[in-house]
Structure 1
């Protein structure tokens, strides 16, 4: 239920990849969490909390990128992590055990598009990263969040601006601009199937009874040399882009993309030294009235 992906990666209500490839999706979410960890921490630090929340809900938690960032930011808090994927929740529990924080995490498997939600307590903070745009009826979901939050509680909506970019504009050499053409193809698909991706959540939050206390755009531009996870992150993301864009690409573009995705080939994206991660994350912090 995560991250947006296809993206927006990321942690997700109805991820189209869940049923087809839950293991591969979980790996992408883990890479997403690793590569964007500093940016996630900066977002949790920015949140305009009036007092450190003791109970937090992570809606569409995926494999736990937000959950663990929130546990680190609020060391006295407990987090209820909610997702529709049993495998993602199992992976989250394993990580919590390895980190020694299993006593601070509760996992709940639930479909957030359902009319009736399970008991999530009365949290002082609800976090939804790359999950809200997957909702079939986001207006209803926002009202449900409003009703669950404690009086004066804070709701944080974090959204990624689609798939990240990784290649320089003039790459690959034989098909410059390939990545941008892939994004154009997936944008058309998402406009049809995921119409709320890229939405301005401010007016919708206000309509649901929240007061928007802050909004910001976080620019992401990470050099590939920063971490060895970036080539694998690029590979996994482009594999998902191929699944969405293949029918719209020219034979020449598809052949060039397949060369990038051939992990044993000389043109594999894993062999490139010119990668970076470029995208934006948008954040809204909204308060429920007393």
Structure 2
């Protein structure tokens, strides 16, 4: 929420284009301030989202209405608009400034005529949709909602008969560096990931009215009355040497770790992170040849039944 917090088992957990929360919940996250990082990450991951959309199009070839719940700045909503040229796309999010960016992007990409935004808290704002939804996409937005099962039930309720709900949650922690980078103690990223997982748990616990839920996403999709639940994982594999954009994204991720997790790291790991972020240091992320991006995002998908529900 993302896309965006100090938690997450992976980079994007905590930011990701997924934030749809109320601004009075966890620690008043300022999504708009995170917009550049959220946007850069989603742009980098666009090939993964495009492959996921192509896979979804086999299940849902001609959706009339596609909704991105927790759309953030709209990068993925625009990928969906391109993948489904016959669809109307609605980007729904709690942050007005992020939706403004989404509208500007749709305009730039020439899809504004079939793109609209819906501002308000999930899942309640979905009551404002005028039509049933053929394809519902929720990318790392669900985990910011206090009652995930109730939110899923609300999503499912908005589906057209035969409509598809696609939930991006889970996957693997992203990796950007080898285990031993020649400075500090080997295994830095695994330790950062452990702290991130703890912070993620704390973030969930601090949500007002939080309901604990086993993260069996296909099981939850079935529990809210959907059928044929299955999962598929998509890889983003950007080997070294990285493009300038990809390297800048990795720098932004480590800056995010520094800002949000720094107080939970030991002194030696903090010193390593500081060296990695120092543009003057030849072992930093700005100069080292061994920086890469390897990430796996899992999509859980299920359908509403046809006929009288």
Listed as ranges, the matches of 1:5-16 within 5 Å are 6=6, 7-8=12-13, 9-11=15-17, 12-14=19-21
User: Which deviates more from structure 2 when the two are superposed, residues 186-195 or residues 26-35?
Assistant: 186-195
Listed as ranges, the matches of 1:164-175 within 5 Å are 164-171=174-181, 173-175=183-185
Is 2:84 the partner of 1:77? Answer: no
Kindly state the Cα deviation for residue 162 of structure 1 after the two structures are TM-superposed: 6.4
Q: CA RMSD in A?
A: 2.5
Distance 1:44 1:17 in 2: 33
Kindly state the Cα deviation for residue 251 of structure 1 after the two structures are TM-superposed: 1.2
Is 2:195 the partner of 1:189? Answer: no
TM-score by length of 1: 0.90
Q: Which residue of 2 aligns with 1:37?
A: 46
Equivalent pair of 2:177/2:291 in contact (CA under 8 Å): yes
User: Which deviates more from structure 2 when the two are superposed, residues 191-200 or residues 159-168?
Assistant: 191-200
Alpha carbons of structure 1 residues 5 and 200: separation in structure 2 relative to 1, 3 Å: farther
Q: Deviations over 1:241-279 (max 9, x none)?
A: 223322221112112212222345444312222111122
Gaps of 5+ in 2: 7-11, 206-211
Alpha carbons of structure 1 residues 217 and 51: separation in structure 2 relative to 1, 3 Å: closer
Distance 2:213 2:40 in 1: 21
Q: Which residue of 2 aligns with 1:275?
A: 291
Match of 1:217 among 233, 239, 247: 233
Following TM superposition, where does structure 1 have runs of at least 4 consecutive aligned residues deviating by more than 6 angstroms?
195-198
Q: Deviations over 1:30-82 (max 9, x none)?
A: 22122212111111111143441011111001112321111111111110100
Alpha carbons of structure 1 residues 120 and 13: separation in structure 2 relative to 1, 3 Å: farther
Gaps of 5+ in 1: none
Equivalent pair of 1:53/1:74 in contact (CA under 8 Å): yes
Equivalent pair of 1:3/1:160 in contact (CA under 8 Å): no
TM-score by length of 2: 0.84
Equivalent pair of 1:57/1:120 in contact (CA under 8 Å): no
Distance 1:198 1:66 in 2: 27
Alpha carbons of structure 1 residues 137 and 115: separation in structure 2 relative to 1, 3 Å: farther
How many residues were matched structurally? Answer: 289
Kindly state the Cα deviation for residue 176 of structure 1 after the two structures are TM-superposed: 2.5
Kindly state the Cα deviation for residue 112 of structure 1 after the two structures are TM-superposed: 0.5
Kindly state the Cα deviation for residue 130 of structure 1 after the two structures are TM-superposed: 1.4
Q: Which residue of 1 aligns with 2:143?
A: 133
